[in-house]
Structure 1
Amino acid sequence: MSREHYQNLIIGSGEAGKYLAWNLAKLGQKTAVVERSLIGGSCPNIACLPSKNVIYSAKAAALVDPQHGLGVIAGQFQVDMAGVARRKRQMVDELVELHLANFKASGAELIMGEARFAAAKTIKVALNSGEERQLQGERIFLCVGSRASIPDVPGLVAAAPMTHVEALNLERLPPHLVILGGGYVGLEFAQALRRFGSRVTIIQHGERLLEREDPDVSQALLVLMQDEGIEVLLSSKLLSVTGHSGTSVNLTVDIAGEQKQIAATDILVAAGRTPNTDRLDVALGGVELNSRGFIQVDERLRTTAADVWAMGDCAGSPQFTHVGYDDFRVVLSDLTGGNRTTHGRLIPYCLFTDPELAHVGLSETEAQTQNVPYRLAKVPMSHVLRTRTLSQTRGFAKALVGADDRILGFTAFGAEASELLAAVQTAMLGGLPYTALRDAIFTHPTVAEGLIPLFTNGFQTANSRK
């Protein structure tokens, strides 16, 4: 079989891969992208955007609940899960078409199939059509992403549990959904499915939800879940499963040393991610993996093989689409003589529960562990007048301020927290003192206006660390 030659071979059309392909192809370089199934990667197809689409439908159901006291009475309403799925599919279809148009306009070739290394800088592709091609690239870029991990629990695989992929395609309402994992995916789906009408139980192995967050954040999220009617089992370990998810399952769970039987209809696994590197035959390409299966890279995302880069989840980068996009910028900079690296990146993230949790920079726990002195400013979200107009005063905002008055970290748990986050992150990127936000004139009533009471009245001397 003859080898086809390309200047750039990109494996995976996710966030980093597609942007790199479009940019290099527009420079006149012969570029091909090999994609197994999801054009554009997981974000527009089965992850970020589809999940937020479904979450918004769940919020719409919650807003017409008379208990919210918004004065909107719609009579008896019901949730149309097929309609929820249909709206999500329409959005995905539109995004896929947009991606196809971008590939065409850029000149990058999109090859549908599964790629493996055959030798250094050489890829063999099992095409989805059943044929095979062998491609040789002057440079190779790996952007193969990750997938949901399935814990090694007796009976779990045989029970055919859902991951986020299947959960986003539900056209029925699970009567009783058990979610394995109290992380970002688990909490977002727990609230959404509960608002649609499912009974929901979360099994969390750790002592807290979102254990990497500060204790006050974990506690606030626990109270939110419980107030929504979600059962949360902390310090719990799944021992075995019988039955089939989607019909009837029975779970044996150890809760702080005592066994409990849980009868349910569906299981959703949200217990971490596994890199999609196990089918790449990376050793044939001279690419080394770490002990967890992620590709070893340096701060410019170069692998151990010459002229091979890795980006996104598979390279061990923080598992966010916006980080994947920055990985693309790091690699493009390396290719064009720039000096951008992954070192010292200020990476924000947001949990899209209702209300949202948003964070950037140091947490209190991290600052204390690293012996970083700080002053703490913290106010309840009820001090942000915008939340009163929404009848959504739950939560708080807090910031860590250093001795030079610069903001070290910020966390907000409350309505529109993601938008509040952007303003603080911008100040942090610019090296502005907190007083720049305290003394600013923000539009009233907006969530950003809440930065004024946070930095004016929120400092708590007793909670400062030196």
Structure 2
Amino acid sequence: MDKFDVLIIGSGPGGYVAAIRCAQLGLKTAIIEKYATKGGTCLNVGCIPSKTLLDSSHHYEDALKHFEDHGIEINGDVKLNFKKMMERKSSVVEQTTKGIDFLMDKNEVTSFEGVGSFKDKTHIIITHNDKETTEIEAKNTIIATGSKPNSLPFIDIDKERIITSTEALSLKEVPKHMVMIGGGVIGLELGQVYKRLGSEVTVIEYMDRIAPVMDKAMSKELMKVMKKQKVKFALSHQVKAVDRDGDKVIIKADNKKGEEVTFEGDYCLVSVGRKPFTKGLNADKAGVKINDKGQVEVNEKLQTNVENIYAIGDVVKGAMLAHKAEEEGSFVAEVIAGQKPHIDYNLIPNVIYTWPEVASVGKTEEQLKDESIDYKSGQFPMRALGRSRASGDVDGLVKILSDKETDEVLGVHMIGARAADLIAEAVTAMEFRASAEDMARMSHAHPTYAEAVKEAALAATEDRAIHI
């Protein structure tokens, strides 16, 4: 029987990063993945394919609508080759997942394909092809089994017309009318993809605004931009029925007045979040506790109630983000190795990869009000930047919130071109407890989108932004 210092169950961003870090620390490491390709949801049916389609559809939309503004004339019609676009997406996914195999080999991590389940707290059974089994022994185990798309109890996901994000990333045709149930990250990103490609898109959201986890100003600005892009929204609507009639999907919902409203499309994407996945793990045989939300319960060291078993990523509490899982993967590896790492969950950024992109870190203005924290706010519009006018990406703004007394930055929220990259500046500043004045005094290259961060910091410091 093979014996390992650490075994990781699941090879998503949390799992494979944990495996690499364990190996770097000199621990004999193994990883189990039930699918033929590593990388979990993120690399296979999540972050990587969705961002690939977002970029491809963005190029297509630019060619259709914006090239002429830049003096670029195209002889003949701009044509969409949807099959080729999907093939490119698959190619990017394949390259990325193969990269994980390379990293496992490079770091001498032993890989097993199959479903990993506990026999007891130190022995794991790997089931290959639903029949053959292998038993291995692990001094420590990290559960990194991730999550699956959530649904509503009355919805029958048929994976043909009533679909989840997984199917939406591999459609064979561009929908005529795609109805999104859920105005969060998945619904907005994939809604924008298919709107660019020619679909009519309607987003139905239970809350009174889209992107409800973001600062309210960001939600408002994003909705304004997407409405300009002709995406339709039905806010404060509670979906109560989803039925299929041949190639049609009929969705019934109650609006905030309690009136029934009917929506009809040829595809319905159910994007109401994700739920932890522990099926087949047999956690009870190891004595590991799973709460009523389906999450593996852990302490501040990400250790379960069984001292040699840890859990990370989407399967534990907190935001379901690939980079949060990666941080936790490294964290647990270092805990097992006897080090004393730390994670500041307040400083894990959140991003929506629409265009313009939305990104945030720290507290929202609503949270600061709820917590009765006195704060200052400074913001700066992207359209006031020379760089934004040069590229034509003038939508959006940057907002910085700082402590009224100490000026320490408490939250940074932005919507605009390359906000997903710009947010790292805010994370860095907040990690070192910078003040708004500190950020304002940093030199930012001109012309760049990042100048909006400096200007917002100036606005938060003494209301002295230069370019507005």
The separation in 2 between residues aligned to 1:346 and 1:340, in whole angstroms, is 15
The separation in 2 between residues aligned to 1:261 and 1:432, in whole angstroms, is 50
- Which string of whole-angstrom CA distances, capped at 9 and with x for unpartnered residues, describes residues 243-264 of structure 1? 268x322222222211122221
The separation in 2 between residues aligned to 1:244 and 1:9, in whole angstroms, is 47
Aligned twin of 1:112: 113
After TM superposition, the score normalised by the length of structure 1 is: 0.93
Aligned twin of 2:313: 312
The separation in 2 between residues aligned to 1:47 and 1:118, in whole angstroms, is 31
Q: How does 1:294-313 map to 2 (within 5 A)?
A: 294-313=295-314
**Percent identical residues:** 27
Please tell me whether residue 34 in structure 1 is matched to residue 32 in structure 2.
Answer: yes
Aligned twin of 1:205: 206
**Structure 1 residues 90 and 320, CA, compared in 2 at 3 Å: closer, same or farther?**
same
DSSP-derived class of the 1:111 partner: strand
Aligned twin of 2:466: none
Aligned twin of 1:172: 173
Aligned twin of 1:452: 454
The separation in 2 between residues aligned to 1:177 and 1:142, in whole angstroms, is 36
**Structure 1 residues 197 and 160, CA, compared in 2 at 3 Å: closer, same or farther?**
closer
- Which string of whole-angstrom CA distances, capped at 9 and with x for unpartnered residues, describes residues 81-128 of structure 1? 111111111111111221112222222221111122222222222113
1:393 offset after TM fit, Å? 1.1
**Structure 1 residues 192 and 154, CA, compared in 2 at 3 Å: closer, same or farther?**
closer
Aligned twin of 1:45: 44
DSSP-derived class of the 1:64 partner: helix
Contact residue 375 and residue 460 of structure 1 kept, 8 A = no
Please tell me whether residue 13 in structure 1 is matched to residue 11 in structure 2.
Answer: yes
- Which string of whole-angstrom CA distances, capped at 9 and with x for unpartnered residues, describes residues 39-81 of structure 1? 1222221111211111001111121233673333324212211
Q: How does 1:243-262 map to 2 (within 5 A)?
A: 243=244, 247-256=247-256, 257-262=258-263
DSSP-derived class of the 2:422 partner: helix
DSSP-derived class of the 2:57 partner: helix
C-alpha RMSD over aligned residues: 2.1
Pick from 21, 24, 34 the counterpart of residue 22 of structure 2.
Answer: 24
Aligned-partner residue type, residue 446 of structure 2: H
Aligned twin of 2:225: 224
Matched residues, number: 458
Aligned-partner residue type, residue 153 of structure 1: F
Aligned-partner residue type, residue 429 of structure 1: E
Contact residue 300 and residue 341 of structure 1 kept, 8 A = no
Contact residue 294 and residue 316 of structure 1 kept, 8 A = yes
- Gap regions ≥5 residues in structure 2: 464-468
Q: How does 1:299-448 map to 2 (within 5 A)?
A: 299-342=300-343, 345-402=346-403, 403-448=405-450
Aligned-partner residue type, residue 274 of structure 1: K
DSSP-derived class of the 2:114 partner: strand
After TM superposition, the score normalised by the length of structure 2 is: 0.92
The separation in 2 between residues aligned to 1:395 and 1:129, in whole angstroms, is 51
**Structure 1 residues 8 and 392, CA, compared in 2 at 3 Å: closer, same or farther?**
same
1:11 offset after TM fit, Å? 0.4
1:345 offset after TM fit, Å? 4.7
- Gap regions ≥5 residues in structure 1: 462-466
Contact residue 64 and residue 73 of structure 1 kept, 8 A = no
Contact residue 160 and residue 244 of structure 1 kept, 8 A = no
